[in-house]
A and B are shown apart, each in its own frame.
Chain A
Amino acid sequence: MNQEWDIAIQRTINNNVPRVSKILKEHQYILELAKKLREAKLKILSNLEEYIEQTLESVKRTGGNAYFVKDPSEARELVGKIVGKGKIVVFGKSMVAYELGIRKYLAQLGNEVWETDLGEFLIQLADEPPSHIIAPAIHMTKERVAKLLKEKLGFDVSENSTHEELVQKVREFLRNKFLSANVGITGANAVAADVGSIVLVENEGNIRMSTVVPPVHIAIVGVEKIVPTLEDALNEALVQAAYAGLYPPTYINVTSGPSSTGDIEMKRVSPAHGPKEFHLILVDNGRIKASKDEILREALLCIRCGRCHLHCPVYRVLDGMWGDAPYTGPMGAMWSYIIYGDGKPATYCTHSGNCKEVCPMKINIPKVLEYIKYLENKKQS
């Protein structure tokens, strides 16, 4: 094993695994919310196309723009048209944007682009693929982070710098980017079909800044993130935060269209202080096809808590590089097939079964991976 990875992942497991168990023990209602969420998401996935239509209509009712794109090239073209050239763009962490190659595409168009989630920011500086679905720089030790910040941005830090000192330096650097940004791009943890709101859960404050400060907010979201109601969407944020190990989450953001006010004679007008434009881009890229397969559909229930990664022996010994970025680990082995048609990661599953034990959505991941192996074997015969 790579020595740096081994140190970094061991520290992460020691910090995270006992904490998630404690959170779930202390807040047992989360288990009930997770059960309810699974049902809500299954309802959507059994009739995805109809809910996509409903969501697009709901967003338009809030004064937002809503689109459906089939593949990465459609997505890039659309985002490129909205953003244009010569802009400053801040990303509030979106794995779907990574999947679609949005950041690099916007940079090629001549925009200044910055990832603002700390992990993503480090990945951008290092020009490396993310190694974990919610902690993309999980493979870097504190010492490596210090070296990277010093080399790439000239920060006055050393391997003896504390975690707090490193975070403070990045905060100083990115604060100015938020304030001067023309466009903020985020993903979403959930989208409420009934009212067209998106919900984002976070701790850093970078998502709140990216969704409120720039005049334009674009949310790029996989269609599997649609849930029936705003209540379900808020539940998803709580469940995701708990299983990710940071509970209560520092921020839960709800965005329903562009900013507005009714403070003059109670006439609602838009924009107010926040973005004047809100764009929701719903992405297919293999998800609808998967939703029609009874077994693959289970993979679409994933809420991206990243818990399965930390319990998986294969992810651990492959230095975090199991699956096609940004989809790594057990969930990533399923998603590598759904998004990229790559069945090879599934063949590496040892069916240890830890992933299914810790999954909040009770996805029988080894079963899904067994099925992908089967589909691959059939293709070869």
Chain B
Amino acid sequence: MLGKLIYENLQKYGFPYPIDKHICSSWAKDIPKQSSTILYTSCMYQTASLSEIYSKFIPYAEKLSAFSFLGKYIKPKKEELDRAYKILNRIVQLLKRNGIEFGYLYEEEPYSGAILLELGFLDEFSAYAKSVYKFFKEKGIKRIITVDPHTHNALTRYQEFIDKMDIEVVNYLELIKDAKAISDITFVVHDSCLYSRFLNLRDKYREIIEKSGIKTIEDELVTGNDTAFCCGSPIKPINPELSDKIAKARVQQLTKLSNNILVVCPMCYANLSKHHENIKDLTEVIE
């Protein structure tokens, strides 16, 4: 059973599939390890490009019993990793410029459990969330700053499974009050489904975009709050073909408005990038 396998991998590797944890933490320098407030990446930006590869192994996962051998060989491409690291460092700079202090757990940083939640393995998610929460409490963490929608969603839903959860979860987009555009390129925004329709953060990042001076092209049937398509990423582990069809259709819709696509989620970037080159994360176009 897939849920059980992912859960076991989380125990063994601290991630849904085997991975060299250096990949997750090597981006960070000069961030204190001890702090009651932490920046929490859940290794999402760093590994987004691997989801494509691992989703292909899922149909055979149970036969292979574990992916342990894969972790040694499968790594993100250097340019993808460099880009992810650059994005995370820009988030650090943006937060610091806005006066926010925080630490980072480096290789001790656990995964959020988002994939269990999104695939409907709620019992496994509940057990895993409890263990992660316990770890955070033992570390004296009181406030977590998330940097992607899937992690933010998973953490905000911990409270459904944990009695009296008393760790504050905030997204970096809520903390940036001041940022400006670094070029005059006009974009079409591909909204994050979770930020927009589950986490009430659509206005936050759209406000940052608007205030920064970035110009965007809108069309009610393409970028409206109730019409904007998903990138297809969440369905990838279940049906990669369907995921790809959605990504392709989404790129077709967006590029009718602009050749420059702006995203706020590493998974959206990874899935849409298969069909289009000019995609930027918000943090790559503001400072």
Instruction: Determine whether the beta carbon of B246 is less than 8 Å from that of A313.
Output: yes
Instruction: Determine whether the beta carbon of B226 is less than 8 Å from that of A354.
Output: yes
Instruction: Determine whether the beta carbon of B120 is less than 8 Å from that of A317.
Output: no
Segment touching B, from A29-37, A66-74, A222-230, A368-376: A368-376
Instruction: Determine whether the beta carbon of A17 is less than 8 Å from that of B221.
Output: yes
Query: Chain B residue with minimal CB distance to A356?
Result: B197
Instruction: Determine whether the beta carbon of A347 is less than 8 Å from that of B123.
Output: no
Query: Chain A residue with minimal CB distance to B241?
Result: A317
Q: A1-B245, A356-B197, A370-B120 are in contact. Are A350 and B232 (CB under 8 A)?
A: yes
Instruction: Determine whether the beta carbon of B221 is less than 8 Å from that of A18.
Output: yes
Neighbouring A residues of B193 by C-beta, 8 Å: 350-353
CB of B119 within 8 Å of the partner chain: yes
CB of B234 within 8 Å of the partner chain: yes
How many A-B residue pairs have C-beta atoms within 8 angstroms? Tell me. 91
The tally of residues in A whose CB lies under 8 Å from a CB in B reads 35
What sequence of 0s and 1s flags, for each residue 173-217 of chain B, a beta carbon within 8 Å of any chain A beta carbon?
A: 000000000000000000001101110000000000000000000
From B118, B226, B227, B238, give the contact of A348 (CB < 8 A): B238
What sequence of 0s and 1s flags, for each residue 1-33 of chain B, a beta carbon within 8 Å of any chain A beta carbon?
A: 111100000000000000000000000000000
Bound Cα distance from A370 to B121, whole angstroms:
9
CB of B132 within 8 Å of the partner chain: no
CB of A176 within 8 Å of the partner chain: no
Interface of B is mostly: helix
From B121, B197, B232, give the contact of A313 (CB < 8 A): B232
A313 to chain B, nearest CB (A): 4
Instruction: Determine whether the beta carbon of B235 is less than 8 Å from that of A17.
Output: no
Interface of A is mostly: helix
Instruction: Determine whether the beta carbon of A348 is less than 8 Å from that of B239.
Output: yes
Bound Cα distance from A313 to B226, whole angstroms:
11
Instruction: Determine whether the beta carbon of A380 is less than 8 Å from that of B1.
Output: yes
Q: A1-B249, A314-B235, A358-B226 are in contact. Are A353 and B120 (CB under 8 A)?
A: no
Neighbouring B residues of A317 by C-beta, 8 Å: 242, 245-246, 249
Bound Cα distance from A293 to B242, whole angstroms:
30
CB of B122 within 8 Å of the partner chain: yes
B214 to chain A, nearest CB (A): 24
B residues touching A (Cβ–Cβ < 8 Å)? 1-4, 117-123, 193-194, 196-198, 220-221, 225-230, 232-235, 238-239, 242-243, 245-246, 249-250
Give the 5 A-B residue pairs with the shortest CB-CB distance, closest first.
Answer: A373-B120, A353-B197, A352-B230, A357-B226, A317-B245
User: A353-B198, A373-B120, A374-B123 are known contacts; what are 6 more A-B pairs with Cβ within 8 Å?
Assistant: A21-B220, A353-B193, A354-B226, A357-B197, A372-B120, A374-B120
